[in-house]
């Protein structure tokens, strides 16, 4: 057992990381030792990462105790890099979290300066000078490599920054060169943000935090309005939107909606979010209020000019599209579907539900039979229900059957219609379907599964559908 | 004086709700099927007993306001056909009768689809799907209802299904909303029912509320039906087969005229109802019947000729 983390007081009385608790207690008897909880630590880091989302949407985890933020282009919103860094560290401090940060041109340099250089804002291009003074460990290479370098007297990054690369790679591995190049900016390093980068984004901060649903709804409409121009420029509309609400105490509430067709009209976007917020109800806790609201467009689709109508729509088609979007928000877009025919002789595969949002090609259904009796049921069970049936062996029609504990006497049976399994199933069982009617007029679609003798010794019977 | 005011107020309320002024709130006129037809009595000059026909509705239905069902006696009782801007409730007494329920509803939808070109929203509650299967496109197409005209919504809970029904009744882009739920969920109370009826009346979208395993209950629907299956009619050339689907459709409640019981069958080729005259079946041994070979349609199984 070793100590992995200490608070300020512990540092001041002379304790250090890596000490055994017994030793530490000998130095300071009143020491309080708590067992490490990596899960809780990870959750806390994730929460802090969520909180930093208000600075930039590109946030990645850096190890178990750090975060990497890509602030390219956002620093001016916070008064410059120095002010922004100070703001972040200061706010974290106020929440009881000691933090150290650095700003640099590359993720490698930023990480190195933050962890081993006491944190600073490195001016553009000045990272090489900074890195030169830092120990090898700051390059994010494994401890063994560091040990190997130390053995030959290489202790500072500056010593290898301009050394011949081939011998270094041969002796210490290609990984060392990669990390060196990344830190110095000779090679690209992209961070993998926790959240997808939105296509478009608009946000607003409030001096007076919001907590009323209608205020949030109004803000959404306003933010969507500010995106209208960018939609038009690109000729697209949004298919997936995310609303992020940042609470004053640091928590972030997020909710997404999807639409059936690309949307640009602020009023409609606002309406869908209002619906969603109402649905969330108590789950959406404003706490002391939201100080920032961000609307992100996560997915877009091309839009043709005829669809754009900022004045509001009133014809039936638009009304229907709107209804489908609202049902999608409330029940889930996958639950609104069209029926589509499929090319398969297996009944359960011959028709499918295709989510309306996916769009549908108009395909032809089999034509209605003219003056012949119907041979397909109106309702089909997704899983055919087993029925106990009495029928003549080997291939007689059902005479009596029991379905869900009720007995049915068959008065008329039509069939068999033989439907084999798909040819690629070698051991597939053939089905003989019968349309049966009982005394009262209940009409069912039953099938015998497996040809007696040829495919199976004990064919089973199933009820697959209900006729009108 | 007060009496006169009350009567005037009643008339106004009736006008707002679209009811004939003679009815009191929520009353069901239950007339046994074998009773006289009061309309016929009125026509013959005798004193009419029972509900009056709504003033203004022509016998053959105002153009564009009714869906004629093609059975003269039935259409007359409804004032020309099933009113379009109204909520109708159809129930089947047991789960096993869900096929008949689906058939009757699909028949109404098929006739409506001929009258109007807008899509029909078809809402199914999850429980209804588990108990009685889901709507089958191929079967519906054969039946005469083009599945391309349908938008199917599968709702997890009855409240969601009713919400979708309500919102659909407001949508000018739909011809009708058809909702299938199980028996009587708590969410379907008189207030909700009335709200649905008003929405339908206001926006002109027909509401068809189907209740599987539903008991007779009062509600605000303009008509309430109970459907049960009847033996299928024999079709020419298929003497032993299972022919045209047939049902007993009991008009249990009717705000526009008398109630009644109708034995109907469905002609899927012509998309029309016909009277069903099949006698109750005599017990007979099941004789399997094979249809002569049809040219196999795309993706359909072959019907084999029975050996021997």
Give 10-residue mean pLDDT values along chain A (468 residues). Answer: 86 86 88 89 91 90 91 87 91 88 90 86 85 87 88 87 87 88 87 88 92 91 92 90 90 89 91 91 86 93 65 70 91 89 87 78 72 88 93 86 93 88 82 92 92 82 94
What does the pLDDT average to over B42-69?
Answer: 49
pTM score over 0.80: no
CA A206 vs. chain centroid, Å, equals 28
Please report the beta strands in A356-397, taking only residues with DSSP state E, as ranges in sequence order.
Answer: 379-391
Cβ–Cβ below 8 Å for B268 and A347: no
Whole-number Å distance between alpha carbons of B80 and B60 = 4
Cβ–Cβ below 8 Å for B235 and A327: no
**Considering only CA atoms, which of A185, A156, A135, A304 is closest in space to residue A236?**
A304
Q: A354 to chain B, minimum CA–CA distance in Å?
A: 10
CATH of the domain at B161: 3.40.50.300
How many Cβ atoms from other residues are within 10 Å of residue B179's Cβ? 27
Whole-number Å distance between alpha carbons of B221 and B232 = 29
Please list, residue by residue across A53-91, b when 16 or more beta carbons sit within 10 angstroms of its beta carbon and e when fewer do. bbbbbbbbbbeeebbbbbbeeebeebeebeebbeebbeb
Cβ–Cβ below 8 Å for A437 and B242: yes
Q: Give the angle subtended at the CA of A263 by the CAs of A260 and A267, to the nearest 5°.
A: 120
Whole-number Å distance between alpha carbons of A247 and A66 = 22
Q: Which of A356, A399, A441 sits opposite B232 (nearest CB)?
A: A441
As a CATH number, domain A1-36 is 3.40.1170
Torsion of CA A84, A86, A89, A92, to 10 degrees: -80
Question: In chain B, which residues have their Cβ closer than 8 Å to the Cβ of A414?
Answer: 240-242, 288-289, 291
Cβ–Cβ below 8 Å for A380 and B168: no
pLDDT of residue B37: 44
Cβ–Cβ below 8 Å for A341 and B160: no
pLDDT of residue A360: 64
Whole-number Å distance between alpha carbons of A434 and A400 = 13
Best to test chain A binding among B92, B95, B99, B240 (most A CBs inside 10 Å)? B99
B13 inside 8 A of chain A by CB: no
Angstrom distances, CA of residue A255 to CA of A284, A355, B120? 10, 21, 31
- Beta-carbon contacts of B207 under 8 Å, excluding residues fewer than 6 positions away, are B86, B87, B88, B165, B169, B176, B177, B179, B196, B197, B199, B200
Q: Which of B135, B170, B243 sits opposite A379 (nearest CB)?
A: B135
Task: Estimate the crossing angle of helix A174-184 against helix A107-116, to 10 degrees.
Answer: 90
Cβ–Cβ below 8 Å for A376 and B304: no
Mind giving me the DSSP string for A268-297?
Answer: HHHHHHHHHHHHHGGGS--TT-EEEEEEEE
pLDDT of residue B307: 47
pLDDT of residue B38: 42
- Beta-carbon contacts of B33 under 8 Å, excluding residues fewer than 6 positions away, are B250, B259, B260, B261
**Residue at token pair 């203004």:** B56
Tell me, yes or no, whether B15 lies in a domain: no
B6-52 pLDDT, tens digit each: 777 877 776 676 555 444 433 333 333 333 444 444 444 433 333 33
SS (H, E, C) A134-189: CEHHHHCCCHHHHHHHHHCCCCECHHHHCCCHHHHHHHHCHHHHHHHHHHHCCCCC
Judge residue A194's burial from the number of C-beta atoms within 10 Å of its C-beta, 0-12 exposed, 13-18 middle, 19 or more buried: middle
Structurally, at CATH architecture level, domain A200-331 sits in: 2-Layer Sandwich (3.30)
- Here the ipTM equals 0.73
Report the number of secondary-structure helices (H) and strands (E) in chain A.
Answer: 13, 14
Q: Can you give the residue ranges of every domain in chain A?
A: 1-36, 74-184, 200-331, 379-466
What is the tally of structural domains in chain B?
1
Tell which phi-psi region holds residue B61, choosing left (phi > 0), alpha (psi between -120 and 50) or beta: left
* Lowest mean pLDDT segment, chosen from A234-238, B131-135, B283-287: B283-287
* Lowest mean pLDDT segment, chosen from A248-252, B169-173, B195-199, B211-215: A248-252
Q: Cis (ω within 30 of 0) for the bond into A366? A: no
Question: In chain B, which residues have their Cβ closer than 8 Å to the Cβ of A397?
Answer: 286, 288
B228-251 pLDDT, tens digit each: 999 988 777 776 678 889 999 999
Domain span at residue B128 reads 68-275
CA A413 vs. chain centroid, Å, equals 52
Cβ–Cβ below 8 Å for A374 and B142: yes
Task: Map residue B30 onto helix, strand or coil.
Answer: coil
Q: B131 to chain A, minimum CA–CA distance in Å?
A: 9
Of the ranges A159-168, B195-204, B271-280, the best mean pLDDT one: B195-204
Q: A267 to chain B, minimum CA–CA distance in Å?
A: 17
B126 and B243 in contact (C-beta within 8 Å)? Answer: no
pLDDT of residue A394: 78
How many Cβ atoms from other residues are within 10 Å of residue B38's Cβ? 21
B240 inside 8 A of chain A by CB: yes
Whole-number Å distance between alpha carbons of B286 and A389 = 14
């Amino acid at each position: 057992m070793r100590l992995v983390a200490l608070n300020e007081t512990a540092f001041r009385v002379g304790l250090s990381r890596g000490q055994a608790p017994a030793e530490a207690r000998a130095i300071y008897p009143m020491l309080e030792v708590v067992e490490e909880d990596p899960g809780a630590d990870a959750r806390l880091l994730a929460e802090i990462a969520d909180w930093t989302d208000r600075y930039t949407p590109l946030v990645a985890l850096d190890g178990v105790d750090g975060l990497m933020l890509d602030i390219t282009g956002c620093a001016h919103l916070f008064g410059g890099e120095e002010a922004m860094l100070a703001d972040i560290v200061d706010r974290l401090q106020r929440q009881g979290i000691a933090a150290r940060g650095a700003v640099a041109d590359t993720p490698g340099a930023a990480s190195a300066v933050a962890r081993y250089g006491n944190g600073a804002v490195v001016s553009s291009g000045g990272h090489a000078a900074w890195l030169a003074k830092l120990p090898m460990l700051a390059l994010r290479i494994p401890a063994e490599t560091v040990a190997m370098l130390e053995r030959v007297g290489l202790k500072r990054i500056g010593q290898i920054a301009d050394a011949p690369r081939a011998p270094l790679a041969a002796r210490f591995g290609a990984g060392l060169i990669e990390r060196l190049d990344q830190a110095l900016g000779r090679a690209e390093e992209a961070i993998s943000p926790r959240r997808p980068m939105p296509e478009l984004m608009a946000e607003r901060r409030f001096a007076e935090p919001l907590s009323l649903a209608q205020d949030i709804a109004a803000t959404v409409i306003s933010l969507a309005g500010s995106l209208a121009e960018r939609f038009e420029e690109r000729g697209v509309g949004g298919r997936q939107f995310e609303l992020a609400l940042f609470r004053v105490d640091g928590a972030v509430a997020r909710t997404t909606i999807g639409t059936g067709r690309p949307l640009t009209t602020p009023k409609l976007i606002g309406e869908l979010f209002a619906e969603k917020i109402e649905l969330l109800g108590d789950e959406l806790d404003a706490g002391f209020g939201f100080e920032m609201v961000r609307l992100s467009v996560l997915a877009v689709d091309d839009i043709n000019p005829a669809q754009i109508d900022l004045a509001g729509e009133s014809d039936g088609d638009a009304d229907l599209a709107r209804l489908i979007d609202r049902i999608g928000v409330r029940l889930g877009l996958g639950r609104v579907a069209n029926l589509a025919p499929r090319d398969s002789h297996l009944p359960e595969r011959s028709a499918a539900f295709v989510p309306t949002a996916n769009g549908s090609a108009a395909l032809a259904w089999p034509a209605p039979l003219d003056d012949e009796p119907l041979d397909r049921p109106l309702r089909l069970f997704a899983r055919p229900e087993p029925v106990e049936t009495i029928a003549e062996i080997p291939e007689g029609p059902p005479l009596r059957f029991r379905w869900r504990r009720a007995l049915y006497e068959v008065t008329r049976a039509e069939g068999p219609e033989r439907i084999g399994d798909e040819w690629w199933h070698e051991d597939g069982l053939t089905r003989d379907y019968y349309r049966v009617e009982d005394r009262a007029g209940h009409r069912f679609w039953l099938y015998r599964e497996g040809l007696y003798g040829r495919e199976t010794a004990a064919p089973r019977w199933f009820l697959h559908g209900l006729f009108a | 004086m007060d009496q006169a005011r009350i009567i005037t107020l009643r008339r106004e309320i009736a006008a707002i709700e679209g009811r004939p002024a003679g009815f009191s709130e929520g009353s069901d006129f239950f007339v046994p099927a074998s009773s006289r037809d009061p309309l016929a009595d009125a026509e013959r000059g005798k004193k009419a007993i029972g509900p009056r026909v709504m003033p203004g509705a022509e016998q053959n239905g105002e153009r564009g306001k009714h869906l004629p069902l093609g059975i003269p006696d039935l259409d007359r009782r409804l004032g020309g056909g099933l009113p379009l801007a109204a909520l109708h409730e159809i129930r089947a007494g047991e789960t096993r009768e869900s096929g008949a329920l689906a058939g009757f509803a699909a028949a109404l939808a098929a006739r409506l689809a001929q009258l109007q070109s807008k899509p029909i929203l078809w809402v199914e509650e999850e429980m209804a799907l588990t108990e009685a299967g889901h709507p089958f496109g191929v079967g519906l197409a054969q039946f005469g209802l083009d599945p391309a005209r349908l938008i199917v919504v599968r709702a997890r809970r009855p409240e969601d299904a009713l919400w979708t029904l309500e919102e659909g009744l407001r949508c000018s882009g739909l011809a009708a909303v058809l909702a299938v739920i199980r028996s009587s969920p708590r969410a379907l109370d008189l207030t909700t029912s009335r709200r649905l009826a008003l929405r339908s009346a206001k926006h002109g979208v027909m509401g068809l509320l189907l209740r599987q395993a539903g008991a007779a209950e009062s509600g605000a629907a303009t008509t309430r039906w109970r459907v049960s299956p009847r033996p299928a009619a024999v079709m020419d050339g298929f003497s032993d087969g299972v022919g045209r689907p047939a049902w007993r459709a009991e008009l249990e409640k009717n705000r526009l005229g008398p109630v009644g019981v109708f034995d109907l069958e469905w002609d899927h080729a012509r998309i029309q109802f016909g009277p069903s005259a099949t006698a109750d079946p005599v017990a007979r041994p099941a004789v399997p019947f094979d249809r002569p070979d049809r040219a196999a349609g795309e993706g359909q199984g072959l019907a084999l000729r029975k050996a021997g």
